Structure 1
Amino acid sequence: MTKNKDWFVSWFDTNYYHTLYKHRDYKEAEVFMLNLVSFLKINKDTLLLDLACGKGRHSIYLNTLGYNVIGADLSKNSIKKAKKHENERLSFVEHDMRKPFKTKFDVILNLFTSFGFFEDDAEDIAILQNIKNGLKPNGVAVIDFMNCKNVILNLVAEEIIKIDTITFNIKRYVENGFIVKEINFNADGNTHTYFEKVKNLDLQKINSYLNSVGFKIKHTFGNYQLEDFNEETSDRLILVLE
């Protein structure tokens, strides 16, 4: 059985993670990026950071639109895959978002619920401080988080997903202030258990984090079409910060 206090360190770096999510809809990410860069009126000279980029799906698409992008992620495995797409205006680096950045950016993107992983609020707040410190003057940050209230209302408690030769038994529940996905499966002759744990953060709680580092919410959206946020019905909680 595989467990880890920092669940993302072990889980994101496995091939099993990439197997489970191999069918993710890249089109959805592309629509979001098109809507976002249009709304923010980001010019092509802008330097963007895709923080917690995974295999780089957002970074790669932004680069095809002509943007200069750096993708950063903790997972060595994900960065190795992403680096296959590098060019003179697209690069990928291993980076723990709890650590400060050496470069200043015009725009920092934290997408697809890549926030709220830590037991201690201070660690999440430190990440926001790093993002704020990593922006150039008049820079903009975007956090794309799930709408926790809606997620909890529609939580699927148990699910079985078979992909290739692996049957993933998935349980979802709320525990100690976290929305938890417990992933159990047999592979390579062993039984594995991994967790995805994201803090149950509503807009009020996130805003208290933001205020503590001097960030202000400029815009709030509820989906990738950038429609208004509704706490009861919206799929996402997307924040534009300055």
Structure 2
Amino acid sequence: MHKDPWYQEWFDSPYYQILYFQHNLAEAKQFIENLLTRIQPRPGSFVLDVACGRGRHSRILESRGFDVTGIDLSESSIQFARQFENEHLHFFRHDMRLPFWMNYFDLAFNLFTSFGYFESTRENENVIRTIANSLRKDSMLVLDYLNVHYAMAHLVAQEEKIIEGVLFKINRWYDEKFFYKRIEVIPPDKSQPQTFTEKVRKFYFGDFNEMFSYRKLQVIEIFGDYSLNPFNKNESPRLVLLAKKYVH
């Protein structure tokens, strides 16, 4: 029997939203504000939010005066996001491995480790292709990923959280190529538990630099956290890349 990929099953689950997106909104807003202050995009810029989920970051960006398009594979997330659509905010269900609008956007965001989900290197490279091809010349990409070195050194193997009465039992581990997170979900009524397993590729800065270069994206700044402090391989929790599209 065919089984959906882990990300399709998990991202469409209401428990995914409870675990990740019912909190840290203030942190997300501040991160985006810090990025906009640094980048200084012109008012009315066309912005692409790749793997936008329910659109919380897209909505923040639209509220700052940009024309924002969000894309995501999750049908339920896009349906939710569409209630917020207006003249300058639009959402589409779209697989980020496949081409989207060409040479259209001034700025693209891929935030909060919304990358590295796919089994093959080619599939992940295709995401970079989609983003790069969607950008105009001299446009910018912000890609926010985990710092592999830090994540391995600070891995919490087991953890339990109770959010909105739901118990999440979390186990984490890694191998040579991937980080894994197995999440057992126990509803408030203690009914049938569900188990989901996340799997994210271990991409280092050198990997991104190679993928970017092939698609005419040049890294111009590297940050190590959401306050945009300088990146340190051993001490930074994040790898935040600011890249510019160039054309020979």
TM-score interval for Structure 1 and Structure 2 normalised by the shorter chain: over 0.9
Distance 1:136 1:206 in 2: 20
How much identity, in percent, do the aligned residues show? 37
- Which residue does 1:168 correspond to in 2? 168
- Which residue does 1:52 correspond to in 2? 51
Q: Which runs of 4+ in 1 moved over 6 A?
A: none
- Which residue does 1:67 correspond to in 2? 66
TM-score, normalised relative to structure 1 = 0.93
SS in 1 for 2:193: strand
Amino acid at match of 2:99: P
Deviation at 1:35, TM superposition (A): 1.3
C-alpha contact (below 8 Å) 2:48/2:68 kept by paired residues: yes
For structure 1, which segment, 29-38 or 19-28, has the greater mean C-alpha deviation from structure 2 after superposition?
19-28
- Which residue does 1:159 correspond to in 2? 159
Deviation at 1:134, TM superposition (A): 0.7
Distance 1:22 1:61 in 2: 14
- Which residue does 1:42 correspond to in 2? 41
SS in 2 for 1:179: strand
Amino acid at match of 1:192: Q
Deviation at 1:18, TM superposition (A): 1.1
Distance 2:162 2:32 in 1: 30
C-alpha contact (below 8 Å) 2:15/2:185 kept by paired residues: no
Structure 1 vs Structure 2 CA RMSD: 1.7
- Which residue does 1:122 correspond to in 2? 122
Amino acid at match of 1:235: P
C-alpha contact (below 8 Å) 1:125/1:213 kept by paired residues: no
Distance 1:40 1:144 in 2: 15
Structural mapping, 1:123-202, within 5 Å: 123-187=123-187, 189-202=191-204
Distance 1:42 1:164 in 2: 38
Query: In the alignment, is residue 108 of structure 1 matched against residue 108 of structure 2?
Result: yes
Structure 1 pair 218–44 and aligned structure 2 pair: CA distance change class (3 A): same
C-alpha contact (below 8 Å) 1:219/1:239 kept by paired residues: yes
When the two structures are aligned, how many residues end up with a matched partner?
A: 240
Distance 2:3 2:204 in 1: 26
- Which residue does 2:230 correspond to in 1? 228
Distance 2:13 2:177 in 1: 26
SS in 2 for 1:43: coil
C-alpha contact (below 8 Å) 2:108/2:131 kept by paired residues: yes
SS in 2 for 1:219: strand
Unaligned runs of at least 5 residues, structure 1: none
Deviations 1:13-53 (A, max 9, x none): 11111122243211111111111112111011210001101
SS in 1 for 2:152: helix
Distance 2:138 2:164 in 1: 47
SS in 2 for 1:190: coil
Amino acid at match of 1:218: I
C-alpha contact (below 8 Å) 2:47/2:106 kept by paired residues: yes
